[in-house]
Structure 1
Amino acid sequence: MKLEITSLTKRFGGQTALADLHLASEAKVLCLIGPSGGGKSTLLRILGGLETPDSGKVIIDGEPLPATERGLLSYRRKNGFLFQQFNLFPHLTALENLTLPLEKAHGRTPADARAIAEASLARFGLAAHSHKLPAQLSGGQQQRVAMARAVAHQPRILFLDEPTSALDPEMTGEVLDLIRELAEEGQHIILSTHEMGFANAVADSIAFLAEGRIVETSEPAAFFGAPSSPEGERFLSRVMKY
């Protein structure tokens, strides 16, 4: 996955979320880390086609991000998304949460959608829960359903925005193990996380963001061993203190 970002800027009202951001990466798993409010979620949403920048360019594998809503819709359908909130349809069962987008967004027949959904739920240990509504599932189970939905159509890129922030420690480990398994299988992933040990173990490249800009990028061992910026040093000294 070759990613090229040039002079990317995004504002919300009078607030600048991303300020003249630049990045070049060929990582299979790119991890965005940094303090809250630093721009990680905004960058992920732009890369996923969910937000449009005010200026700048994003090129992925030689193709610029589409500029039209129709083009962005087609682009989004090729990718997968998993966010802090589970974003499941509360009135649909786990199985229906997968079959609906497979049919409506990806053009699968009802029979094909059901077969794909059942296989995806089984892969994430959810076969026995396919008939349950989200409210009948634990937080970890809900996030696994959301992950099964995100990868059921074999996405080109999987975008993950703090996917474990709403989970307790046991469920966090369970979901991180599943993400690591996907990475080891070759899934291209761009994610943000506060789980530094996970980022160090799974990412091919780390991009450290603060105040709407990418301060430094490096391999995990280099960043966690000796960050090259004062901002990176301060950040690690806080999050790794305990």
Structure 2
Amino acid sequence: MAVAYFVTGTDTEIGKTTIAAGLLHAARAVGLSTAAAKPVASGCEPTAEGLRNGDALALLGECSLPLVYDEVNPLAFAPAIAPHLAAREAGVELDVEALAGPVRQVLAKGADFSLVEGAGGWRVPLAGSASLSDLPIALGLPVILVVGVRLGCINHALLTAEAILRDGLTLAGWVANVVDPATSRLEENLATLGERLPAPCLGRVPRLADATPAAVAAFLKLSPLLRIAG
């Protein structure tokens, strides 16, 4: 059975792509076909082929299906600012359907394991009153929450989990990504997250000198996602 999840985080720059690429690698390692989408990305670099985003390229590198870049990241903007601001400066209407249509095309390819990565946190604005959280709602995708473990992460994680559930979606699992290994009372913080987040922990990823998808995958558990989806 083909399964798909939306990947969000407690904030920006907390390792959503690192974890998503690790999950895709773990799926490939057990023989599953993979696909991914990052429908909107800012902070893209100009190339001969057009604007390219490092996170989207990392996801594309872990897709076993023959996707091209524009399928993974159809909306790319150069400024490293909030996507709705970058889109506004580019004269692009960043609404939910502009994102959902291309994602549906990727999901329709029928990979065994597909991930859709958001930008920033759960309530990143789109055009008008819409938020990026409206995308997984429109697609009906369960959510994987990447918790950037550092001071303040418990509050951010619990509020994000509450918002996901209030929006009527399933929190399928969460990953502790230790972005600050010097976090005071690290073990106690992780224990509190485990007690209070209403979903299985998919892994605890330490700060790695070389966070390749293969290295990250070694710390992740894919089986809860396959059981939930099945």
Compute the TM-score of the two structures, normalised by the length of structure 2: 0.39
TM-score (norm 1): 0.37
